[in-house]
Amino acid sequence: MTPGIKGMKLSLLDLGRIDTDDGFFMRGCNAAVQSDPNPQYERRRVAVIAAVIEHPKHGPILFETGCAQNAKEEWPAPAYDAFPLNVYEERHHLDKALEAAGYGIDDINAIVIGHLHLDHAGGLEHFRGKNIPIYAHELEIKEHYYAVATKEDIGPYVPGDLNWELNWQPIHREETELFEGITLRHMPGHTPGLMTMQVETNNSGHFFLTSDLFHVRDLFEQGVPQGWLGRDSFDWWKSYRWIKQLQQRYDGTMVFGHDATTLEELQAQASSFD
């Protein structure tokens, strides 16, 4: 195990469950073929996941924020029909999940957004008017604005998440060590500006937070490309090979964008990892 940063701590946040068609995640899933013209359509219950990284010098950093608290009203109706937030109790609200991990909204010193889809950026509503930096890749910020302004991709992106009262800080490089032991990498495929995060802890090793480069573990473990939610297959394969090599190099723990089993297994191991 490669040594990490002393005093670094990672806590995962459970922000609810979404039920949806597996075809959104995995290419070829639920497709009718000659040998099976009437397939049984599979649906999957997936988790909405965020993480708090307690940095020894820079304090609590939030990776992604989950859905808006009133997602059913905030999201376009077709988006909520496809991705209904069917398990969303008070404990899944971002502020309550943070409290359970020992933090308040006002404790957060920085936010990193892996990508700006509505189930990852919705919780930014808690930070409007605050001056904490919101880090997102330059290409993701541009993609969000274009998608909403042209209405070409307004389902996954919603206008309220790119709020001008937030302190946006664009990331331009392919690889950025944001703080010591926290590395952001531009890994497009699902969206043009998606970023992953590598966190180096001292006792628990390295963690790779993938956002929706991999919605579920099947994509990473089986090398299955994304389904209907994939934007660029060529970019996705490049990103897949890159993070696969990094995971092997550091023997890292993978935290996938929506894999409920991974979240539950890790939370059963420990409430936090240092």
Q: Render 78-120 in DSSP notation, one character per residue.
A: HHHHHS---B--GGGSHHHHHHHTT--GGG--EEE-S---HHH
Neighbours of 15 (CB within 10 A): 28
pLDDT at 179: 98
Residue whose token pair is 């990103």? 239
3-state DSSP: the chain helix, strand, coil percent, rounded to 5?
Answer: 30, 30, 40
Rounded to whole angstroms, the Cα distance separating 20 from 82 reads 6
Order of all β-strands in the sheet with 9-21: 9-21, 43-55, 59-63, 110-112, 133-137, 167-171
Rounded to whole angstroms, the Cα distance separating 24 from 49 reads 18
Can you read off the two tokens belonging to residue 255? 């935290």
Order of all β-strands in the sheet with 206-209: 175-179, 182-186, 195-200, 206-209, 253-255
pLDDT at 27: 77
Which of these, 234, 249, 155, lies nearest to 187 by C-alpha position? 234
Which of these, 62, 86, 71, 169, lies nearest to 119 by C-alpha position? 71
Sketch the domain layout of the chain as residue ranges: 9-23+45-269
Q: Are 179 and 169 in contact (CB under 8 A)?
A: no
Say which residues have a Cβ less than 8 Å from residue 222's Cβ, sequence separation at least 6.
none
pLDDT at 2: 62
Which of these, 100, 77, 75, 101, lies nearest to 90 by C-alpha position? 100
pLDDT at 28: 67
Can you read off the two tokens belonging to residue 8? 């670094």
pLDDT along the chain (274 residues), means of 10: 85 98 79 74 92 98 98 95 97 99 98 99 97 98 96 91 95 98 98 99 98 96 89 96 98 98 98 97
Sequence length of the chain is 274
HSE toward the beta carbon, residue 114, CA cutoff 13 A: 30
pLDDT at 153: 86
pLDDT at 31: 66
CATH architecture of 9-23+45-269: 4-Layer Sandwich (3.60)
Can you read off the two tokens belonging to residue 99? 């409290």
pLDDT at 25: 83
